Structure 1
Amino acid sequence: MKHLLLSLCLLFILACAKQPYQLSKPQQSFYKSIASHCGKSYAGKVIFPADGKDPFAGQPLTMHVASCSDTTIRIPFHVGEDKSRTWVLRKTEEGLQLKHDHRHKDGTPDEITMYGGMALASDSKLEQRFPADAHTAKLIPAAATNEWTLALSPDGKTFSYILKRDNQLRFRADFDLAKPL
């Protein structure tokens, strides 16, 4: 009887233990694809706007798939010497989330940080779209219509970070996954 009670308590504890959030199959596949690059860095370039007017144009772009866990992938995004940006891809109860973590050189959070949104339902394991959430709209009213897309090319050689605002392309950077730095 004592062993039965102990076994039942153990099963109860295991059942209550926090399990990593379950994503849809396409989101889970996308998450695993990004995580497969953990520990690697890649060079990128601005694709749009192509007129060179973007402040990132002409500067070296680097993404580092720096840390990966069952629930969170952190991808620092460097623009030249500016290392203030990190994309945070996280599994939540609602699904896959993208946030932009901006920090000062001393590591303290920027006034404008942790904006982003939840991935839309999609059948694509290569592309996830993240419309701006309510926090983003409050933090940056002009970004209320933003939609960020993270995409992998079908051949797996390119990672794209895309920003649309008011359904118009505003920014795109592509990173060469075939050539880790």
Structure 2
Amino acid sequence: MHPAINRLAPGALATVLLSACASMDEPPALPATQEAFWDNLTSHCGNTYAGGLASSDERDEDFEGRQMLAHWAQCSDNRVAIAFHVEDAGAPGGWDRSRTWLITRNADGLRLKHDHRHEDGSEDAVTQYGGDTLSAGTARVQDFPVDAYSIAMFEREGLDVSLTNVWRVEVSPADAPGAMFAYQLTRRNDPTRLFRVEFDANDPVDTPPPAWGW
């Protein structure tokens, strides 16, 4: 303990420690547009929305025609976990529940990570990849270029095609007319690459079972 703190009276010391703990728990400040985006994102907490594939890249033909759900499974002051469920006749119970999007706020902005699990809850070899915002974005759109951790993992796993990934999250306030939520993938070195799923955020549906591992 710092000598100056050690000399404090017990009551004053308790005040200092409580203030320090409180400041550690407070969400870090964000640029105004990211604060607005965070407010929009958290306005959906607890809800589930139905959607589907909105892009037409032939590389995603396995997703065509499949029902999809986005479930705001957990919300805290600093993190939102959105489970991404995909209808799959070959998966247990007819659904692939392996994916969860994690959006966190930190001192440098917003971060998106992908939590991928197997049915038994164990982590997939390719998981916790994503990136951090490089700009303030807008109240409804934030981009997340691939980070160094993810690049190293993609190289290790032979996924060189993903080394220039940019993920996008779009969200409207829950009470906005025509509210929507979208997740999108593009690549800086491949202008033809587009994976995009959209959800009707005006019409909540029944809550699905938890994502695998959650």
> Retained in 2: the 8 A contact 1:160–1:172?
yes
- How far the C-alpha of 1:155 sits from its partner, in A, is 4.7
| Greater CA drift, 139-148 or 165-174 | 165-174
Whether the aligned pair in 1 keeps the contact of 2:70 and 2:84 (CA below 8 Å) is: yes
Q: Which residue of 2 aligns with 1:162?
A: 184
Q: Which runs of 5+ in 1 are unaligned?
A: none
TM-score, normalising length from structure 2? 0.76
Matches within 5 A, 1:110-121: 110-121=124-135
DSSP 3-state at the match of 2:46: coil
Does the 8 Å contact 2:51/2:68 carry over to 1?
A: yes
CA contact (8 A) 2:57 2:195 kept: no
Structure 2 unmatched runs, 5+: 1-7, 88-94, 155-159, 206-214
Q: Determine the structure 1 residue equivalent to 2:48.
A: 41
User: Which AA in structure 1 matches 2:169?
Assistant: L
Q: 2:198 aligns with which of 171, 174, 179?
A: 174
Residue 141 of structure 2 is aligned to residue 127 of structure 1:
yes
The structure, 1 or 2, with the larger RCO (C-alpha pairs under 8 Å, 6+ apart) is 2
Percent of paired sites with the same residue: 37
Separation (CA, whole Å) in 1 of partners of 2:124 and 2:79: 21
Instruction: Note closer, same or farther for the CA distance 1:31–1:151 as it changes in structure 2 (3 Å cut).
Output: same
Larger radius of gyration: 2
Report which of the two has the higher share of helix. 2
Per the alignment, residue 16 of structure 1 pairs with 20
User: RMSD over aligned Cα, in angstroms?
Assistant: 2.0
Find the aligned partners of 2:184 and 2:44 in 1 and give their Cα distance.
19
Do structure 1's residue 68 and structure 2's residue 82 form an aligned pair?
no
Structure 2 distance, partners of 1:71, 1:11, is: 24
- Whether the 8 Å CA contact 1:150–1:161 is kept in 2: the answer is yes
Paired residue secondary structure (1:34): helix
> Contact (CA 8 Å) 2:133, 2:145: kept in 1 or not?
yes
The answer (yes or no) to whether the contact 1:120–1:128 under 8 Å persists in 2 is: no
Q: Which runs of 4+ in 1 moved over 4 A?
A: 50-53, 153-156
Moved more, 144-153 or 96-105: 144-153
Post-superposition shift, 1:53?
4.8
Which of 88, 97, 100 matches 1:83?
97
Q: Secondary structure at the match of 1:147?
A: strand
Q: CA deviation at 1:52?
A: 8.8
Tell me which residue corresponds to 2:161: 142
Q: Could you say which structure has the higher strand fraction?
A: 1
Q: Is the 8 A contact 1:117 1:132 kept in 2?
A: yes
Distance across 1 between alignment mates of 2:85 and 2:178? 22
Partner of 1:30: 37
Q: Pick which of 92-101 and 20-29 moved more.
A: 20-29
